[in-house]
Amino acid sequence: MKTVLLTGATGFLGSHIAEKLLKNGNKVIALKRSTSNLWRCNAFIDKIQWLDYDNLNEIESVIINLRPEILIHAAWNGVSAVDRDNLSKQDRNVSFLDSLFEIIKKTNISKIISLGSQAEYGNFEGSIDENFELNPKTAYGSSKVKVLALLKSFAEQNNIEWYWIRLFSIFGPREGGDWLIPVTINNLVEQKEMMLTSCEQKYDYLFVKDFVSGIYKVVNCASDFSGVYNLSSNNSIKIKDLLLNIEIRLTPNKNLLLFGKLPYRANQVMNMLGNSNLFYKTFNFKPVYSINDGLNETIDYYLNNQKWNDDQL
């Protein structure tokens, strides 16, 4: 059993990480805002030790006394599309981690796992690995790059293992209701037409349960493999095909998805594929969910939790 300090446990990815850790007998200490909505953690909320971090100085001694061994940093302020160029929101992510590191110095933490993003690469076409030049086009991507530099410097100065896991598209239950797959499911359940682009883009989608299995591999790795890793499905699917799979399941023959009614946005990336061979080899990882299996489990979740859209963050 490991004691893990987790940020972002109330978010989509963080809640799944917390659930995986708890199911495998680990202790989870989760940092949250006093105003955080905990709906994603309802099924295991009493198994987590929650700490409000509105003022980190007030909980410093508590964190130190709980003796966490691993930090998983899954929190991020300003993830939604409308906030990705909000400089003040994005900069808070850098200052928050800097403040948290001042506490980490006084703990027994020997491993830090933090979530990056393909947005660090900027606009690209095709398959890219970790050697691709970083060229972020948003404040969000730039802030991720800043946090990576901060993490690497801090960890190496303090003899701590560090892992920067650069994510592509993750989907599954408990995703925010303003993202493409939940929006599509919600519209089709309500029998609403949905105006779309031609949706010929090909994106790399990884089911969230495969994602957390990958993170858990990093949690348990016995050797020091510190560094930057892409984590993706290593496959891409046309967005149109993805959405049609949902339509076939929920509203066959109704033609509610209106492809080609909207223009692509400027500089639209048409082929976004992560090369995650380094992660797969280093951590002996391979996804087990097909895109259809993941979609079916996701659809079932939303059908069985009809209030999800009202309770979302």
Q: Please, what is the average pLDDT of the chain?
A: 95
The length of the chain in residues reads 313
Q: What is the pLDDT of residue 307?
A: 55
How many other CB atoms are found less than 10 A from the CB of residue 264? 13
Rounded to an integer, the average pLDDT of 234-243 is 97
How many other CB atoms are found less than 10 A from the CB of residue 161? 18
Sign of torsion over alpha carbons 239, 242, 245, 247: negative
Rounded to an integer, the average pLDDT of 264-293 is 95
Q: For each of the domains in the chain, give its residue range(s) and CATH number, in order of start.
A: 3-170+205-231 (3.40.50.720), 174-204+235-271+290-311 (3.90.25.10)
Reported as a single tens digit per residue, the pLDDT across 247-272 is: 999 999 999 999 999 999 888 889 99
Tell me what percent of the residues of the chain surpass a pLDDT of 70.
97
Helix pair 180-189, 291-304: axis angle to 10 deg: 50
Q: What is the pLDDT of residue 306?
A: 61
Rounded to an integer, the average pLDDT of 203-217 is 98
Rounded to an integer, the average pLDDT of 155-159 is 97
Name the band, by pLDDT with cuts 50, 70 and 90, for residue 305: confident
Q: What is the pLDDT of residue 80?
A: 87
In this predicted structure, the answer to whether residue 34 has a pLDDT above a threshold of 50 is yes
Reported as a single tens digit per residue, the pLDDT across 91-128 is: 999 999 999 999 999 999 999 999 999 999 999 999 99
Reported as a single tens digit per residue, the pLDDT across 39-72 is: 999 999 999 999 999 989 999 999 999 999 999 9
Q: pTM of the prediction? A: 0.96
Name the band, by pLDDT with cuts 50, 70 and 90, for residue 312: very low
Q: Which amino acid is residue 67, in one-letter code?
A: R
Rounded to an integer, the average pLDDT of 208-225 is 97
Reported as a single tens digit per residue, the pLDDT across 125-146 is: 999 999 999 999 999 999 999 9
